Structure 1
């Protein structure tokens, strides 16, 4: 699974890139989504690479993300009681593992498809350079987990 975080805002953005970001549910800075690794999603990531960063999320980081930043409609936190009543799983952690293993989805479990995060502690490196050049944009493989932990 890929975790995607929007880094840059919407000023001066081309319409086709803005449409791609809308399709990914990334409408604001510091919003994150989690998607499966498919060729169509990879094409969307390449199109929006100048506004987002992404990488493979680990299971531990994903559990933390769902438990801390997962929300229900009405901006309510995800609780073990809600998960027991409305899904086939016993706890938030079990639900997060099932979503990570693609047994279910965020939408099927009643959670919102995006995570609203804080800006990272110590700030972004550079919002106009790629990760390889010492910035924040583009593909960052396993290093996305470090950024997510700074933002949760």
Structure 2
């Protein structure tokens, strides 16, 4: 299974561990997206940066849309989402009504709004 990881928040006042994790994931800017394999090491990295990114399992249709957008790099730079991230913005977890953390299959809707 593949996961799509989208960076939601910026890079001001981050600790060195968080910056290094973003570097390993390949998420250098806000609104950038990367598709990774689901493994325990990736889950650990996502747990470390869960207050700055959102992720979920991605389907084949969305993967093909992303590959049309960028063919050279593994990082896709996207637009901000149409109609925003959600009800409570980018400072709350998804299960509490915000935009951060694990959102499961709903990541596909978010990525389609960002293309």
Compute the TM-score of the two structures, normalised by the length of structure 1: 0.72
The structural deviation recorded for 1:14 is: 1.2
Match of 1:78 in 2: none
How many positions carry a matched residue from both structures?
Answer: 112
The structural deviation recorded for 1:62 is: 0.8
Q: Which has the larger radius of gyration?
A: 1
* Separation in structure 2 between the aligned mates of residue 51 and residue 14 of structure 1, nearest angstrom: 12
Match of 1:28 in 2: 29
Structure 1 gaps of 5+ residues are 72-110
Match of 2:97 in 1: 134
The structural deviation recorded for 1:65 is: 1.2
* Separation in structure 2 between the aligned mates of residue 148 and residue 8 of structure 1, nearest angstrom: 16
Q: Report SS of the residue matched to 1:127.
A: helix
The 5-angstrom pairing of residues 1-150 of structure 1 reads 1-67=2-68, 69-71=69-71, 111-125=72-86, 126-150=89-113
The structural deviation recorded for 1:64 is: 1.0
Match of 1:98 in 2: none
Structure 2 gaps of 5+ residues are none
Q: Report SS of the residue matched to 1:132.
A: helix
The structural deviation recorded for 1:13 is: 1.1
The structural deviation recorded for 1:140 is: 0.3
Aligned Cα root-mean-square deviation (Å): 0.8
Compute the TM-score of the two structures, normalised by the length of structure 2: 0.94
The structural deviation recorded for 1:123 is: 1.4
Q: Report SS of the residue matched to 2:46.
A: helix
Match of 1:91 in 2: none
The structural deviation recorded for 1:50 is: 0.6
